Structure 1
Amino acid sequence: MNQKKARPTGRVPQRQTSASQGPDLVAIIRDFVRKPGFVPANKSELARQLRIPPDDRADFREALRKLIADGTLTEGRKGRLAPADRPGTSRLTGIIIFPARAEGRGHAWFIAEVPEAAALRGSAAERIHVPARYTGTALHGDTVTVEVSRRKVAPWERFDRQRQRDQADPAVEAHVCEVIGRRHQRIVGTYHAHPRFPSVTPDLPMLPQSLRLVNILPEAKAGDKVAVEITSWESRQQAPQARMVRVLGAPGTPGVDILTVICSHDLPLEFPPEVLAEAASLPSEVHPDMVKGREDWRNQPVFTIDPFDAKDFDDAIAVKPLPEGGWELAVHIADVSYFVRPGTALDREAKIRGNSVYLVDRVIPMLPEKLSNGVCSLKPDVDRLTFAAILTFNAHGVPKGARFTPAVIRSARRYTYEEAYERLQLTPDQIAGLPKHEASFAKHLHEAWRLAKTLRDRRFREGALDLDFVETKVILDQDGVPVEVRRVQNDISHQLIEECMLAANEAVARETKLANHPAIYRIHEDPDEERLMDFREQARTYGHKAGDVTQRPELQKLLRSIRGLPEEHALKIALLKSLKRAAYSADPLGHYGLAKLNYTHFTSPIRRYADLIVHRVLRRLLTRRKTEPGDKAGSTPGYGRLVEIARHISETERNAADAENETKKLKLIEYLMRLTKAEPEKTFEAVINDVRPGASFVELTAYYIKGMIKSEDLPRGARPTLQVGQRVEVRVVRVDPVRGFIDFTIPEGSGKNAVQESGARPSSRRPRTSREKNTQQGRRKRPR
């Protein structure tokens, strides 16, 4: 594998006077950013790399302004600076993406880290096409540098629907020059023993070749699953060389399938000794001296609502009606910042991990168990330290006031979502029949739902999108075998807690923004209108009427129209893919999906590092003092450092989500295999999501598992006509559990009966992108 080049380093030479520094500093920056291996950086990062003294920062900013003005530098998204033109080259840095099921053999797309720099290279599209012969040794998701060039476009390519759908400019293409960062540092595969040429067949579809091993761990046995790291890879015509780093075990052994995902995503299973030692030194319970100066809520009706199998309780609430109308909502969040101080081993490890990872069979926590499940967890009937957001609302759910304070609570009741839902269904007469303690909390629960419903109704009136849908939870036995798949509804018990947390997050974001203090924000940028219109076309193939979905009311109307229909899940997933991905940022850019100008993450510091940072910022604002030397408890990162942290934790969040989805899919496929093994002719209801020549794509409505119906797998003779949006009865033909592929067929003799009407009239059309529509309109004007 090509080794990642070290970033260029530079030091600004000592200069005598500020007046003489301008031209020298301009030249220093210009030379620095043109060095090989330079990665686009914002102003703070660039100043740190060049080691600009604080007294020279004003001159540094002035030099940057000159370089941007004369076209030497271009400023991209999030303030990242990149050279607009390097002598003799048009190289860009970014991510390479391969299409699904391509297995690394075909073409790919390049997405520039700084889109504005790509535009300067002549590409007007989001993606730049990478022909198969120019992908080099890059794998899906790798960070690469590419050479961008223009090419002559054949007439037929101007109407290439695939390229238009993928939003690639046919006149521009990229050639991979170097792989500077692997998405997967470790690769999992099957070990093949050989006296001279031991090898590993990787599970990763992007690596079709065998990997030649340069070492063998003594515990490795033929057929074992192992984790390896690529040490060298010259070209796709040669087998990569790899080093074996861990033996996971024999396939089929309980837990090995999950370990493969853990290793392939580089998830840490153990904490370093110094982190565990630091956690062990912390108290296991809250002592009286810890509560001094805190607001005492131990005698208030504070309660929690969490999943039945939860162990880390981040949040608790208390709600009471106000005499003048409206409500007071107290959102108590575990005060992790009291125990995890900046610069400690615990803090460094939490920052590296970024977040807890919730796999199908285990949790990989951000913090050691002593904290996450112990002294920080808001368990009932024990004293716990919290950071509280005390919010007041009028009768219409409009915020009237907010204050924030360290507090101490003793949670008086722990509800599971199922218990809370049952209590919320009770009538006043039924509540009166409960034991006194339970009746009291049932009333508090109903009052909390009245507030939450008011907040929820107001939020959707202001334009929030209903992107919630039914999810599945795989239940495993003690050996890790899936025995049940439960559907998890976003019922009113979930909505109650969700609205309370949203309100607290918004209030905290408003506080930090008004204070103009550097902080971490949760952002969801506005979507590309063209992609939304493409989603509209997809919705129309299901037979749904859709207006201008770039307007919130029309998009909300469409979402309401698909509620409860079989295709709801598929269409909401399609909408999510049309929207930009939520992320963390040091800039308060707002949240499109929630329709909020101010939003952050404050409510889960046990499992998210972003929330821990926000707690520290809020505490800093409350004290209204400058940090004294050596006082790490009050220190908070500056803007430049927060930009780095936001980028890192956004990446760890995506990595965790991918791992969570992979383990869930593994067990769903295993569950499906067990069902079909017990009953080979068993059929499942599915919805057609896409129809292509030679194959159709379906999703099982009960389990949300996706698969393919190949034409050759359909019964011979009168084959059914499959249309997007239709429900069909399917049977499993074959399963590839390693690569996650499932092939279905429609049982013979049920062709006509297999196709059922959906909630809307389906269409056989494949959705056309807005670019294709423009192309088709242009074609009609041409003479036949």
Structure 2
Amino acid sequence: MSKNEKNNTTKPKRKRVRKRKKKSSEFVEFQTDKVKDVLLSLLHSSPQKQLSLKQIHKKLQAKHIKIKELIEFLLEELTKKGSISRVNNNYQIRLDSEDVLEGVVDYVSRDFAYIMVEGQERDIWVGSKHLNTALDGDTVKVIVHKFKKSNRPEGEVVEILKRARTEFVGRVELSARFAFVVPDHKKMFYDIFINLQDTKGAKHGDKVIAQITEWDEKGKNPIGKITKILGKAGEHETEMHSIMAEYGLPLDFPQSIVKMANKISEEIPSEEIHKRRDFRKIPTFTIDPFDAKDFDDALSIRQLENGNWEVGVHIADVTHYVKPDTILDREALERGTSVYLVDRVVPMLPEKLSNHICSLRPHEDKLTFSAVFELTPQGKLVEEWFGKTIINSQRRFTYEEAQEVIETGKGDFAVEIQTLNKLALILQKNRYRSGAISFETVEVKFKLDEKGRPLEVVPKVRKEAHKLIEEFMLLANKRVAEFVYKLRKGKIKNTMVFRTHDAPDAEKLENLKVFAKQFGYHLETEGKNIAKSLNQMAIASEGKVEQNVLQSLAIRTMAKAKYTTEPLPHYGLAFKHYTHFTSPIRRYPDILVHRLLEHYLAGGEPVNQIELEQKCKHSSDREKKAADAERASIKYKQVELMQIIASQSHPLQVFEGIISGVTEWGIYVEITETKCEGMVRLADIQGDYYEYDEKSYSVIGSRYKKVYRLGDKVKVRIKATDLEKRVIDLLLA
């Protein structure tokens, strides 16, 4: 064989030729995808406008003949596919095509967001420059691009269907010629430009509410106006009002609502009394927090001739006063719930109703809607009755006073309270035996001075008196739900508001099992023993340093409870059907349940499910916002408390704590003494580079393998506190 023949048959040369061909093919494919994305972005930038071929060439600066041919080819392909339409040789995007999806923006950081599309397995990644002024929570249309370099779907927002909010709370920064409002909202990454004539007299540093009035151009700040001045930033009243406004929750009632409530008479007509079952001579009392004013529920108890106990769960008859579709009702629906901030209650109903007419105050005749149960001394349910009643509470107990009666056996209604407690313990035992989950997370409350500054933080302690009330409320809620569900025979059931709760997330449960094993706990993650296993862990960890972390993680495995018309179970309570009947003064779903129960007791037909489901969804959304606002107010006071402690102590003072959270950017530490949580940034941990391990809830040093794990005890120092951002920065000591 000649030298030339050998060279022509060598393998390396053939490999190089193939490589070049493959590279060339990939390059052409990449160019096609790139041109396609640019072309779609152009058409999406003006969805209502038609563009000619010549205009498209000009806008894309397509001068080379090959690029022009490629554009024409892609336009033909996209037209056939239905992504764009062609009318008289003009092209326009089709917003109803399969490439365009509708979803909600989750603005993760300044650089990008995800669009959450119902029914889509994966969220769509969108860079901030392609959000086209969409903000967190907005409902948008997004076009999906399938990039070759990434496995995830990526896209671009082409239309904003609905703004989640146009008002933002923030701090004013004034200059000589204009102003900006710097929003408090963590997911609002743009300052709002304000013309001086639209500042409403706000001063530099004031907390205000700003409304966005226009925002047409990409990349520029939104323009707005100040609609309300909340006060000087940092003052207690200002910050509490700011938190309410930040979460879009109303604070004051419109005057028309207050006037309507004030017109309602407190007198009960005799004809109304005759329509109701009378419990005024039966031992009846309330048990509530010491500072409560809105008494939703009362208990009555008497022994029957057969030795059984009749227990009445009496709930304020709010629907007698708040009629459907009145302005009072619409306001209550809009609010959805009372909001419990660190220092106050922002009620769902005006004070005249919530604290006076409807509140089951002692020694006053009150209208109620009751669930009455006949129970054996062994806690077995024999009979039940639901209907309108009238009561007169003979005693208002605080939880502390009722607890003293339980413990000593002495005091007003001692026999009645101790009997109720015995029955409650049986009901609780039966619930746990049926698979209910018991979590006792530690909640805190603050002692404040006259100016609202925190003096100390005190853990809330739940004792038997709390659990007594809880068990009878659970019983009433459960039995009302089951009664309505079973009332109508056959496939078509009565439409009802249910409170449902899905099973735990399997993957999160498995991670919890691995984590709990480090503390010596064994967790079942499959079959019927999951709840029992979780309860055993809860009991075994009670009072130990890891209790809060384990129970917090266990709660995170759970789905969020919600309101729905679907008759699904409540996993956490192990109830086949469950609702909320017992707190209509502070929860709108309970008002709906009262109306539905009264309707079905009178033989009414099933109500419109679609309309009721919308109200359920709204109530669930409002509940979440109220909970977020409550947490924000607690966090604000925690930061303020640590700020005060830091100013009064040595700069190097060391605090003991426990790691309560682990993320890719830092570890969260709950300080044992104050129950306040701060963060140690990974960049601030000296001596190594730390990386986050999601499955083990830990960060691990890449060089020396030092591990900081969820639940570990650590010592920390305060690095900084920021009241405006509600954050505490810590350093490991």
TM-score by length of 1: 0.74
Tell me if the contact between 2:234 and 2:724 (Cα under 8 Å) persists in the aligned partners: no
Deviation at 1:172, TM superposition (A): 2.7
Aligned partner of 2:460 among 474, 488, 497: 488
Distance 1:582 1:351 in 2: 19
Deviation at 1:97, TM superposition (A): 2.6
1:688 aligns with 659
Distance 1:534 1:699 in 2: 21
Distance 2:194 2:709 in 1: 48
1:733 aligns with 719
Distance 1:451 1:500 in 2: 9
Matches within 5 A, 1:152-171: 152=148, 170-171=151-152
Aligned partner of 1:141 among 121, 133, 137: 137
Distance 1:686 1:284 in 2: 52
2:624 aligns with 654
Amino acid at match of 1:685: E
Tell me if the contact between 1:306 and 1:417 (Cα under 8 Å) persists in the aligned partners: yes
Amino acid at match of 1:238: K
Q: 1:723 to 1:590 in 2, by over 3 A?
A: closer
Matches within 5 A, 1:340-379: 340-379=322-361
1:403-425 Cα shifts (integer Å, max 9, x gaps): 11211111111111111122211
1:203 aligns with 184
Deviation at 1:280, TM superposition (A): 1.8
Matches within 5 A, 1:442-481: 442-481=414-453
1:92 aligns with 101
Partner of 1:252, secondary structure, is: coil
Q: 1:542 to 1:294 in 2, by over 3 A?
A: same
Task: Identify which range, 701-710 or 602-611, moves more after superposition.
Answer: 701-710
2:236 aligns with 254
1:521 aligns with 498
Aligned partner of 1:572 among 551, 554, 573: 551
Tell me if the contact between 1:456 and 1:499 (Cα under 8 Å) persists in the aligned partners: yes
Q: 1:585 to 1:695 in 2, by over 3 A?
A: closer
Matches within 5 A, 1:199-598: 199-214=180-195, 215-234=197-216, 237-321=219-303, 327-426=309-408, 428=409, 431=410, 434=411, 438=412, 441-515=413-487, 516-540=493-517, 544-548=521-525, 551-598=530-577
Distance 2:433 2:372 in 1: 24
Tell me if the contact between 1:109 and 1:128 (Cα under 8 Å) persists in the aligned partners: yes
Distance 1:150 1:568 in 2: 46
Partner of 2:260, secondary structure, is: helix
Distance 1:176 1:475 in 2: 48
1:758 aligns with none
Task: Identify which range, 220-229 or 141-150, moves more after superposition.
Answer: 141-150
Partner of 2:281, secondary structure, is: coil
Distance 1:703 1:598 in 2: 39
2:23 aligns with none
Tell me if the contact between 1:217 and 1:247 (Cα under 8 Å) persists in the aligned partners: no
Question: Which one scores higher on RCO, CA 8 angstroms, separation ≥ 6?
Answer: 1
Deviation at 1:287, TM superposition (A): 4.4
1:27-66 Cα shifts (integer Å, max 9, x gaps): xxxxxxxxx99xxxxxxxxxxxxxxxxxxxxxxxxxxxxx
1:172 aligns with 153
2:171 aligns with 190
Q: 1:616 to 1:723 in 2, by over 3 A?
A: closer
Q: 1:421 to 1:625 in 2, by over 3 A?
A: same
Amino acid at match of 1:189: G
1:10 aligns with none
1:186-241 Cα shifts (integer Å, max 9, x gaps): 21111122232221222223234422114424431122111101223346631121
Deviation at 1:344, TM superposition (A): 1.5
Distance 1:641 1:336 in 2: 21
Q: 1:141 to 1:562 in 2, by over 3 A?
A: farther
Amino acid at match of 2:425: K
Deviation at 1:369, TM superposition (A): 0.8
Distance 1:675 1:260 in 2: 24
Tell me if the contact between 1:91 and 1:145 (Cα under 8 Å) persists in the aligned partners: yes
Distance 2:638 2:559 in 1: 27
Tell me if the contact between 2:309 and 2:375 (Cα under 8 Å) persists in the aligned partners: yes
Distance 1:666 1:128 in 2: 34
TM-score by length of 2: 0.79
Partner of 2:153, secondary structure, is: strand
Tell me if the contact between 2:659 and 2:668 (Cα under 8 Å) persists in the aligned partners: yes
Partner of 2:481, secondary structure, is: helix
1:11 aligns with none
Deviation at 1:703, TM superposition (A): 4.1
Amino acid at match of 2:142: V
Q: Equivalent pairs: percent with the same residue?
A: 36
2:72 aligns with none
Distance 1:285 1:476 in 2: 38
Distance 2:387 2:663 in 1: 58
Deviation at 1:521, TM superposition (A): 1.1
Partner of 1:722, secondary structure, is: strand
Aligned partner of 1:670 among 640, 647, 665: 640
Task: Identify which range, 302-311 or 237-246, moves more after superposition.
Answer: 237-246
Please, what is the CA RMSD of the aligned residues?
2.8
Q: 1:557 to 1:353 in 2, by over 3 A?
A: same
Amino acid at match of 1:662: A
Distance 2:367 2:539 in 1: 41
1:58 aligns with none
Distance 1:256 1:320 in 2: 50
Amino acid at match of 1:525: D
Q: 1:220 to 1:338 in 2, by over 3 A?
A: same
Deviation at 1:724, TM superposition (A): 3.0
Tell me if the contact between 2:549 and 2:711 (Cα under 8 Å) persists in the aligned partners: no
Task: Identify which range, 488-497 or 87-96, moves more after superposition.
Answer: 87-96
Tell me if the contact between 1:570 and 1:689 (Cα under 8 Å) persists in the aligned partners: yes
1:299-333 Cα shifts (integer Å, max 9, x gaps): 11111111111010000012345565653321000
Structure 2 unaligned blocks of 5 or more: 1-46, 49-93, 488-492, 689-703
1:162 aligns with none
Distance 2:446 2:164 in 1: 28
Matches within 5 A, 1:580-619: 580-619=559-598
Amino acid at match of 2:716: V
Deviation at 1:540, TM superposition (A): 4.2
Aligned partner of 2:681 among 710, 713, 730: 710
Amino acid at match of 1:534: N
Amino acid at match of 1:522: R
Tell me if the contact between 2:299 and 2:314 (Cα under 8 Å) persists in the aligned partners: yes
Deviation at 1:649, TM superposition (A): 1.1
Distance 2:604 2:713 in 1: 63
Structure 1 unaligned blocks of 5 or more: 1-35, 38-84, 155-169, 627-635, 748-784
Deviation at 1:444, TM superposition (A): 1.0
1:46 aligns with none
Distance 2:513 2:153 in 1: 28
Amino acid at match of 1:679: S
Tell me if the contact between 2:494 and 2:607 (Cα under 8 Å) persists in the aligned partners: no
Distance 1:319 1:182 in 2: 52
2:17 aligns with none
Distance 1:174 1:542 in 2: 44
